[in-house]
Amino acid sequence: MIPGPVFVYSCPTCGNVITRGSLMSGNNFGSKIFSDGKSISPMLPEFPKLTKCKKCNSLFWLSNLKPIGTFYWSEIKNIEWVFADKAQFLEIDDYFNAIDKGIAKNKKEELYIRQQIWWGYNDNLRSGKKLFKDESDEQRWAENISKLKPLFDQSDSNQRIMLAEINRNLGDFETCIGIIESIDDEELNWVKEIIIDECKKKNKWLIELKDKTSPRGNLLK
């Protein structure tokens, strides 16, 4: 894994300095791929596109902000930047807050936020916790995924798999299988097989995808 430059940003509201790392190159050694399309790769860290300023709590897109500078860990010029806040991924509540505040200005941004919410809930399962805190939590989960469904780009096989997965989460196994079977991509055959199998078992929830036939990497990115 070779880190890229660290990008330095200034909070658009209060000017607090926030940094975000980047990656020059990595690999999917030790990756775990899940049925919701999320993969966790120790050698391929991801960096947030949307974050929250720790100083003033404002939410903003780093991906839309021009960096005020960059540095490499090997040649530090500004010591303040080294100790600045590091951009963090948001918690589920913050993502809901971002939706309420109209932070998503287009379909792509709304897809990103709603997908992060869906993944955030599934992170509970990934870390061995309960999916929902209570009934109202389950309601907002359901509302989010119903609004996420129409945002997927159906010409993209990976997004079609995510759409199928949401139908599976909702217990609509027939629709899930229909979408999965309509995907014509040989590289995804092993994924299709696993998901159809789970539908037959009437399992609604997240599973880790393990390719029994080859140690292939990250196909769902």
Rule CB under 5 A: choose which of 11, 117, 163, 177 binds Zn ion.
Answer: 11
**Which residue lies nearer to Zn ion by CB, 24 or 56?**
56
Rg of the Cα trace of the chain? Answer: 19
**Which residue lies nearer to Zn ion by CB, 63 or 189?**
63
For residue 19, the cross-strand partners are 8, 86
Smallest gap, in angstroms, from Cβ of residue 10 to Zn ion? 9
Q: For strands 23-25 and 2-3, give the pairing.
A: antiparallel
Rule CB under 5 A: choose which of 1, 24, 43, 56 binds Zn ion.
Answer: 56
**Contacts with Zn ion: how many residues (CB under 5 A)?**
7
Q: Helical H runs in 101-156?
A: 107-126, 135-148
Rounded Cα distance, 191 and 147, in Å: 25
For residue 9, the cross-strand partners are 18
Rule CB under 5 A: choose which of 16, 97, 158, 203 binds Zn ion.
Answer: 16
Smallest gap, in angstroms, from Cβ of residue 99 to Zn ion? 20
Can you read off the two tokens belonging to residue 36? 């919701």
SS3 76: coil
Rule CB under 5 A: choose which of 32, 49, 55, 204 binds Zn ion.
Answer: 55
Smallest gap, in angstroms, from Cβ of residue 51 to Zn ion? 10
Write out the residues near Zn ion by the rule CB under 5 A: 11, 13-14, 16, 53, 55-56
